[in-house]
Structure 1
Amino acid sequence: MPLANLLTSLSALPESGSRDAYLRFLKSAGDAALRRSGGPEHVTGSCFVFSPEFDRVLLCFHRKGQFWVQFGGHIESEDASVAEAAQREAREESGISDLVLLSPGIMDLDRHDLHAGFSCSAHWDVGFAAATAPDVEVSVSDESEDVRWFPINEMPIQVPAGFGARLERVRHAAMSQSGTQIG
């Protein structure tokens, strides 16, 4: 069911090289693409967490990657969809138990190779978004060294290549879906 759901969601996105590569990968790998044990490359779900005004973003400092990034991780057997996995991961990694996605719509696609600190070679990440008050209590999971709010225009130096552009695309999509004026 999660594979069929993801294929449907991806097919609904505008045509792009990324979308088409994801569809090819999923059709080739099948259900194995959604399992960590399914091979060295697999799908992950992630969640960008914004303040309600979309002027701040909550990031975690990833222990293995040694960079600031959105919350996310592998799909587990109890996850009914990649969106559900992204929401679960964001809740676990931020400590915000009532965090809810703004929509089940895909807002980001990012395939990235991983270095030797990881057991897999690449993640085909599918990103979503959520919003919560910046004064909400957060906690740090075992996978991170820190969790912190950043103003959108003051990103930390230690972020993955291309992260700023991806963050801005997701921010605009999330603002548009929530009816917030882009300014």
Structure 2
Amino acid sequence: MGVAELLAGYRPHDPIETADLARLRAMLEVTEDPWSRAIPLHVTASAMIVHPETERVLLRWHARQRAWLQVGGHGDPGETDPLEIALREAAEETGLPDLKPWPDAELAHLAIVSVPAKGDEPAHEHADLRFVLATGSPEAARPETPDAPLRWLTLDEARQSNHEPNVHETLARVHARFA
């Protein structure tokens, strides 16, 4: 499923997400490849990984953002399915072998986020398509690199570890799924 198909039936939850969805749909009308890093606003896919039995979430340290965030990132050349990209990125960044959509494969949250400049790459924005993935083996989590540690946290601990309103919104949607 491509980005346009994923968004066709998606209903935003609040005014911020409504505005972000409108911006993304407008961008999709004028670009051939919404995943291209060459455009200032491009699509990424991410996942909040959960361990349903303990109601914990797995966060990864992102040095560029200087924050504990969900896992995810850019599509590789030829990739177009947001859920498949989120699954691949999550497996690469955590080493978890059993990730699956939870409780379903629906898009959990759309958030446009600013990314600071780094090296030759200018500041830009990600239209991040967020899913919820579950694991039954949290002890198998391994960081992809030493500078990208992972932490299993309760929802309260995760909220305290991050001050970004869009991440708090994603965590609220995870909390609703636990309930």
d(CA) in 1 for partners of 2:161, 2:171: 14
On the 8 A contact 1:63/1:143 being kept in 2, the answer is no
* From 147, 152, 166, the counterpart of 2:155: 152
CA contact (8 A) 2:73 2:86 kept: yes
d(CA) in 1 for partners of 2:135, 2:142 = 14
Query: How large is the RMSD of aligned CA atoms in angstroms?
Result: 2.3
C-alpha change, 1:110 and 1:12, in structure 2 (3 Å) is same
Give the drift of 1:159. 2.0
Partner of 2:144: 141
2:114 counterpart residue number? 113
Give the match for residue 58 of structure 2. 58
* Separation of aligned partners in 1, 2:130 and 2:100: 14
Q: Does 1:91 align with 2:82?
A: no
User: How high is the TM-score relative to the length of structure 2?
Assistant: 0.83
Residue 18 of structure 1, aligned match among 6, 17, 20: 20
Equivalent position SS for 1:77:
coil
Structure 2, unaligned runs of 5 or more = 13-17
Pick from 164, 167, 179 the counterpart of residue 168 of structure 2.
164
Contact 1:45 1:125 in 2 (8 A): yes
- Larger mean CA deviation between 123-132 and 96-105 belongs to 96-105
AA of the residue aligned to 1:116: A
Instruction: Name the TM-score, length of structure 1 as normaliser.
Output: 0.82
Q: Percent identity?
A: 26
Secondary structure of the structure 1 residue equivalent to 2:73: strand
SS of residue in 1 equivalent to 2:172: helix
Contact 1:60 1:144 in 2 (8 A): no
SS in 2 for 1:148: strand
Deviations 1:155-179 (A, max 9, x none): 264425212222112442xx2xxxx
Unaligned runs of 5+ in 1: none
TM-superposition CA deviations, 1:108-143 (whole Å, max 9, x none):
111011112373511110001111136431111138
- Indicate how the Cα distance of structure 1 residues 91 and 23 shifts in structure 2: closer, same or farther if over 3 A, else same: same
Q: 3-state SS of the aligned residue for 2:117?
A: coil
